[in-house]
Structure 1
């Protein structure tokens, strides 16, 4: 059985490779999108929209970073701002129709990549892998 340090090094190396691929894929989806801006757009879709402060809290970023990233999304026409109905001074950020189209295409591409990558995995292996990823991400 491998030593724990070797195993942890392998996990770190493989997760780093995964992150590099994710950054590369974000740039392929749209040349002006970073992984952070893409992730924010994806989060806005998943939540139905939220305030910039909610994005900062979710991604553990400062408000100025979120402001710069959302400015990019807005300049590209991928998000819209709406008055927050609960606090008329605030704004809710939501994906625009172009943003939703971009996300739908990205999800389609990502699904095709996953289906190809996992072709040789049986259902039990996939279920185990999914549970491990959930467990890892739930740990914070």
Structure 2
């Protein structure tokens, strides 16, 4: 196997990671922080979910998801729905406010990405999106 493409990919991913961290720290894209955006997106896309299911989805500790969910609940973006079979358990459901914030944030993020890729052809954008999805799926499998 030719190592040159792997060397380029490895270096470019490291640079991308650093730049994304810098953007999220100094030039916030959107209204929501990273974890809030992803949790709200997951719940909005797949319906209400328990903390354990969300922790499994994101490969995070239950305590981490619980803390992030509590922050969303305090802001009114999600609400707890008690489990009728287990009084201790609950699922998280996105609220109308949470859905509105997610929509606004998604629009801002997509506008920023659109600006970054304005010189790319539609075919390049579509292909890049497919490759990113394929990479994310491969990463998920090894986690």
Q: Scaled by the length of structure 1, what TM-score is found?
A: 0.82
1:105 pairs with 2:107: no
1:130 pairs with 2:132: no
Per-residue CA distance 1:80-137 (angstroms, 9 max, x = gap): 011236x443311011111111001111112222222221111221122012101101
Note the C-alpha offset of 1:53.
0.6
The CA distance in 1 between the partners of 2:93 and 2:22, in whole Å, is 27
**Structure 1: runs of 5 or more not aligned:** none
Q: 1:74 to 1:104 in 2, by over 3 A?
A: same
C-alpha root-mean-square deviation of aligned residues, in Å? 2.3
Return the structure number with greater relative CO, CA threshold 8 A, min gap 6: 2
The CA distance in 2 between the partners of 1:19 and 1:100, in whole Å, is 25
**Matched residue, 2:48:** 49
Q: How many residues align?
A: 135
Note the C-alpha offset of 1:21.
2.6
What is the SS of the residue equivalent to 1:25? coil
Q: 1:25 to 1:48 in 2, by over 3 A?
A: farther
**Structure 2: runs of 5 or more not aligned:** none
**Counterpart mapping for 1:26-65 below 5 A:** 28-30=30-32, 34-65=33-64
Note the C-alpha offset of 1:16.
3.0
What is the SS of the residue equivalent to 2:79? strand
